Chains A and B, each alone.
Chain A
Amino acid sequence: DVKVTQSSRYLVKRTGEKVFLECVQDMDHENMFWYRQDPGLGLRLIYFSYDVKMKEKGDIPEGYSVSREKKERFSLILESASTNQTSMYLCASSQTSARGNPFFGPGTRLTVL
């Protein structure tokens, strides 16, 4: 069974902390994504990676960075967490062809106090 896994389901951090969210996929997909999900706003793309060490900003990259050192792993980094980054974070992966729909992980609910 194909899978996208995220390191934590729930995470509580303090303002100013550096936060790492990890995502691993076992489908050998080229593309990986980080989305943020907020009520009434749907899913908003934070960052996108189309290859190892390659990344592209999404619609809301401010306050975030990413790292992709290996094909199967894509990390989201909050350099200095703020309360407005409290949200559900969803990782996804897809094939490189536009015929590949994204597969999603279960999500990490991050609370910043």
Chain B
Amino acid sequence: AQSVTQPDIHITVSEGASLELRCNYSYGATPYLFWYVQSPGQGLQLLLKYFSGDTLVQGIKGFEAEFKRSQSSFNLRKPSVHWSDAAEYFCAVGDNFNKFYFGSGTKLNVKP
């Protein structure tokens, strides 16, 4: 069965520092991969998605993610974090039957 693991429940980084959020998936075929962000009291917003092609994907708000098939990973990165990036981040995988499976989320705290 498909599954998504986000090993870090909470991460704290200083403003201006770089960020990497980890995501590992389990899926037998070529996955469709997504990162969403949920700010406090807000709905889920799509940051970026990967379907095929270039394994480095650019998203909104300066985020990028890299698909590594050999490691079954799709880690999210940002070179310089802003205080407004404090939120919860969810990784998701879509299968060929139009279902989407989400990880348990990583809460990002940004120190001034």
Contacts from A to B (Cβ < 8 Å) = 30-31, 33, 35, 40-45, 48, 50, 58, 90, 92, 94, 96, 98-107
A99 touches B99 (CB 8 A): no
In the complex, B15 has a CB within 8 A of chain A: no
Compute the total of residue contacts between A and B using a CB distance below 8 Å.
55
Instruction: For the complex, give the distance between the alpha carbons of A107 and B45 in Å.
Output: 12
Chain B residues within 8 Å of A, Cβ to Cβ: 4, 6, 9, 32, 34, 36, 42-44, 46, 49, 51, 90, 92, 94-96, 98-105
What are the residues of chain A within 8 A of B104 when measuring CB–CB? Answer: 40-42
Contact yes or no, A98 B95, CB < 8 A: yes
Interface centre among B32, B94, B98, B104 (most CB of A within 10 A): B98
Q: Give the contacting residue for B98; candidates A41, A44, A96; CB below 8 A.
A: A96
Chain B residue numbers with a CB within 8 Å of A31 are 98
27 contacts between A and B (CB under 8 A): A30-B98, A40-B9, A40-B104, A40-B105, A41-B104, A42-B102, A42-B105, A43-B90, A43-B92, A45-B99, A45-B100, A48-B99, A92-B100, A94-B98, A98-B32, A98-B51, A98-B95, A98-B96, A99-B51, A101-B34, A101-B49, A101-B94, A104-B36, A104-B43, A104-B44, A105-B43, A107-B43
